[in-house]
Amino acid sequence: VRGTQTHSGKTRGDGELALLSEIRARAVRGSRHGGLRLGIGDDCALLAPRRGEELAVTTDLSIDGRHFRLDWHQPEAIGHRALARGLSDLAAMGARPVAAFLSLGLPRELTTASGGRGGQRTGSRAWVQRFLDGLLALAEAHQTPLAGGDLAESSLAVADIVLVGVVPRGRALLRSGAQPGELLYVTGALGGAAAGLARLAELAGLDRSNPPRIPKKLEALLAPHLYPQPRIAQGLWLQRRGLASAALDLSDGLSTDLAHLCAESGVAAEVDASALPIHPTATLAQALDGGEDYELLFTAPATARLPRSIAGVAVTKIGRIVKARRGQPAITLITEQAAQPLKARGWEHFS
């Protein structure tokens, strides 16, 4: 987040300059970690990977009305979720995060303490400060300094997150390595984020607050949606042991993301419905098609011995990789009654 990149006309307002200073000060606090040599304040950040390391880079765009809603989500959750998307991509490669970058376009009222939109309760702090609270708390949990970015006034709230990670050369977990005969695994539980979002939509319809208050007893229910946990430790574990032949993160839902893995690997897959680790709050449909669980989906040879959990998160065998056959569905869902094609059907958010 440099001071030089607004083309807002004239010089920046006092509020914007103060925001830049605050971001810089808060970002520096967390930047003693390996790899980042120069953070916010110059034309670029500088990263110094160690010998034999390669860099994994990913960008994820979050837009009001598409990936979040200002009238549904607390600012802390929006910040957390924006960063979680990028961290989850690193996890899927088995990479260790080194630095994050944030390009932020915000309506002016979200950068001032008195602001907030449509009666949003932002308290005495600006919306953007609470957004940063959420983002930086997750960054700190994963020892990921905020190393730069950009800031501009925008009529629509947008946040583009860039994550840079390191992985030993040639060891990254790719989507393209799955082979017929291998087994299919998933971390954690599926469908919890979709179930949480459905509940949040209900709350938003009932509560006149904007965003709605989350009753204490619902916090745990909404957590998979509001505060998804990127599986960095699990991705690193798989990468270091060389057990996974292919991996990706479940951002769009099992039915869609497994189709990507199959396409990149040139294989097909069978999923056992009875084996799916469905989140206790979720339906089978949410587990199959619900997006944003940010669990890892990976394949491993049948001979590989995988633990029941990695760093406290369950690992479940949910199916197998088979040969792709022309005219046959890429994914088959096997239930006790029948085997049926599983169509990619990413979960519907804010249509």
Segment 267-296, which members bind its own copies (CB under 8 A)? 291-292
Stretch that binds its own copies, among 46-54, 69-77, 130-138, 219-227 (CB under 8 A): 46-54
Contact 299, 184 (CB under 8 A): yes
Stretch that binds its own copies, among 22-30, 209-217, 243-251, 332-340 (CB under 8 A): 243-251
Rg (alpha carbons) of the chain, rounded to whole number: 21
> ∠ at Cα 192 (262, 243), nearest 5°?
40
Q: Which residues inside 135-174 make contact with its own copies, applying CB under 8 A?
A: 147-156, 158, 160, 162-165, 167, 169, 172, 174
Q: Could you give the C-alpha distances from 152 to 1, 93, 136, 245, in angstroms and in order?
A: 10, 31, 19, 42
Residue 300 bridge partners (DSSP): 183
305 Cβ neighbours under 8 A, 6+ residues apart: none
- Please select the residue that binds its own copies; options are 27, 104, 194, 273, rule is CB under 8 A: 104
- Please select the residue that binds its own copies; options are 18, 57, 285, 304, rule is CB under 8 A: 57
Measured CA to CA, the distance from residue 330 to residue 323 in angstroms comes to 9
Q: Could you give the C-alpha distances from 322 to 40, 43, 81, 244, in angstroms and in order?
A: 48, 49, 34, 16
If binding means CB under 8 A, how many residues of this protein chain bind its own copies? 84
- Please select the residue that binds its own copies; options are 15, 22, 26, 55, rule is CB under 8 A: 55
Q: How far is the CB of 337 from its own copies (least distance, A)?
A: 26
Cβ distance to its own copies smaller for residue 57 or 141: 57
178 Cβ neighbours under 8 A, 6+ residues apart: 245, 246, 261, 262, 265, 267, 299, 321
Cβ distance to its own copies smaller for residue 70 or 308: 70
Cβ distance to its own copies smaller for residue 7 or 305: 7
Q: Which residues inside 315-334 make contact with its own copies, applying CB under 8 A?
A: none
Q: How far is the CB of 142 from its own copies (least distance, A)?
A: 15
Q: Which amino acid would we find at residue 45?
A: A
Q: Which amino acid would we find at residue 29?
A: R
Stretch that binds its own copies, among 51-59, 114-122, 200-208, 221-229 (CB under 8 A): 51-59
Cβ distance to its own copies smaller for residue 163 or 243: 163
β-strand 313-323 against 267-272: which pairing, if any?
antiparallel
Residue 182 three-state SS:
coil
Q: Which amino acid would we find at residue 91?
A: A
Measured CA to CA, the distance from residue 188 to residue 230 in angstroms comes to 11
Cβ distance to its own copies smaller for residue 54 or 272: 54
Cβ distance to its own copies smaller for residue 117 or 260: 260
Q: Which residues inside 299-318 make contact with its own copies, applying CB under 8 A?
A: none
Q: How far is the CB of 56 from its own copies (least distance, A)?
A: 4
Q: How far is the CB of 144 from its own copies (least distance, A)?
A: 13
Stretch that binds its own copies, among 182-190, 278-286, 324-332, 343-351 (CB under 8 A): 343-351
Q: Where are the beta strands (DSSP E) in 107-229?
A: 146-153, 158-168, 183-187
Token pair belonging to 148? 């730069």
Q: Which residues inside 178-237 make contact with its own copies, applying CB under 8 A?
A: none
Token pair belonging to 218? 């619902």
Q: Which residues inside 2-41 make contact with its own copies, applying CB under 8 A?
A: 3-11, 37-38, 41
105 lines the binding site for its own copies (CB under 8 A): yes
Q: Which residues inside 244-263 make contact with its own copies, applying CB under 8 A?
A: 248-249, 251-252, 256-257, 260
